[in-house]
Structure 1
Amino acid sequence: MQVDSVVRTRTLSAVILSIFTLLSFSGCHRAPSADVVATVNGKEIMRADLEKIYKANLDQNQPEPSAEQANILRLNALKSMIDDEILQQRAATLNLSASDEDVNAKLTEIKAPYTQEEFDRQLKQRGLSLDDLKRQIRRGLTQTKLVNKEIESKINISDTEITDYYNSHKSEFNLIEPQYHVAQIVVTGNPPQQGAAQPTRHVANEAEAKKEIQSIRSRVDTGEDFGTLASQFSENPSLAPNGGDMGFIPESQLKTDSDVFSSINMLKPGQVTQPLPVTDPSGPGHKLMGYAIYKLFSREAAGQRELKDPRVQQSIRQSLRERKTQLLQNAYYEMLHDDAKVKNYFAEQILKQGAQ
């Protein structure tokens, strides 16, 4: 009887423990409030923040998207927000978060071409408060600091790699036509935007774009560095981080825009064009996308460029660095994502609605 009592006691204890474990497990995965669209390592991403990013990326000159299209845009925006949150948390653990001084300095750069009234009006058009913009700036600067620390600082391009690349791609440095080394600053006159899920091409606010590019052109005239201004103000996301540098452009390619070619061809190395309109060649009627100024660094005559040319070495070094950066960055982001605990409630909601 005593043995039976012990067995019953142990069995009851096991049942209680099992029930407690199940309840605990269920409690850990209970659905959040409707205001939460995702969690990253327990950190909530709020629906209101997703809506701000979604609305900021809408092109106000295009028709309202359908419900399905809108949710596709939201899913894409949320994926970027999740990826960004993973990076922000990693940066915090490494004490790499941007400081208030960093944020205020960047904010000053963004506001420079505008009066306070213009700046406030443009923020309002995007549905952003000043705190929203500061938050986006902080996250963007933090991400840059993380990439510089974890990736850029660890990349080294050796002279042997440069030589091997040149020998394998020598024909690429045999110019069959003249080339122009050019940099660009382009603006649309639309509101400043930092940290958006995806860059969006908007029809230009022509009056604001003209005023902004003329202001930047005046600063170049007073001696400010073109590359620094491009990094601060150019709205071309692929060129701005490199000071607007477009690299070497074949003459035939430049001639596809006769006004740009004519203006650049009149320059001496180191000079800058007057503001020129930028149109969308893929759209109907070549609609205006903004205004740009171009700086000519050099003209290169046709012929073989040798490895001993410092410009050849710099071009190869930059190309190899960009390749390594992209590879390591993709691998690094995947590693961080694999280690993170992510729950996308908005995606679950979409699936459930679609299955009904």
Structure 2
Amino acid sequence: MKAACSFFIATLLAFPAYGQIIEQVLVKVNGEIITKTDLEDRQIAALRDQGSARIDPDTLKSDEGLRRALADITPQLLVDAIDELLMVQLGREKGYRLTDEQFKQWLVDFRKQQKLEDDARFEAVLKQEGMTLPDLRRQIERQFLVSQVQRDEVGTKLQITEEEARQYYLANRNEFVEAASVSFREILIELPAAAQSSAGVNVAADDEVRKQAEAVRARALAGEDFPTLVVEVSASATRANGGLIG
């Protein structure tokens, strides 16, 4: 999309007989305008959101401080307004639009989140902000178009070919390699104390322990969780940490 922006300050012609409000045009972008009122709305929003605008609240306590703050933030606000308008225009060119159903669903979610289910309260908030429901819809549609265009831009940048992925892997192979590591876990099956004597080990008890060990080994080889087996049958002090050694 060609971005033909012309900067000027002008006054829209009006017919005095109809008492039409005279509005100043600050910027014209591909036939669409950004007015002084549009910029003032952004200035007010920026002053309200002092954190994002990086404005020291103390500077707003005097007229001079307020003028300096506006002088600091206004150039970037105007650039942002132009960028937004260009993205809105591009979104329209791409065929994006906010459907009635999408807006209704957004409105339901918004009112629920803001606890504005009551119609009277919702209308009062709109009036306080100097907006009508159509105004709100236009604002949300602009945000929708901008988000769609931004999503497209990010998606385009993220698309890489198989060859590009292969070349990156070859150039950064070390990032995809982990050093080999080995961990050891144990299960200790002890002879009962009564089966042990100074004369040696009771043969029958020894056979029984061997059978237990073989049964546990078979369960482990069959895929049972080894730490669980440790907790169940091990007599070692490492039982508390799943038989892990070291």
Q: In which range does the TM-score fall when normalised by the shorter chain? A: 0.3 to 0.5
The structure with the largest alpha-carbon Rg is: 2
- Greater helix percent: which structure? 2
How does the TM-score come out when normalised to structure 2?
A: 0.46
How does the TM-score come out when normalised to structure 1?
A: 0.34
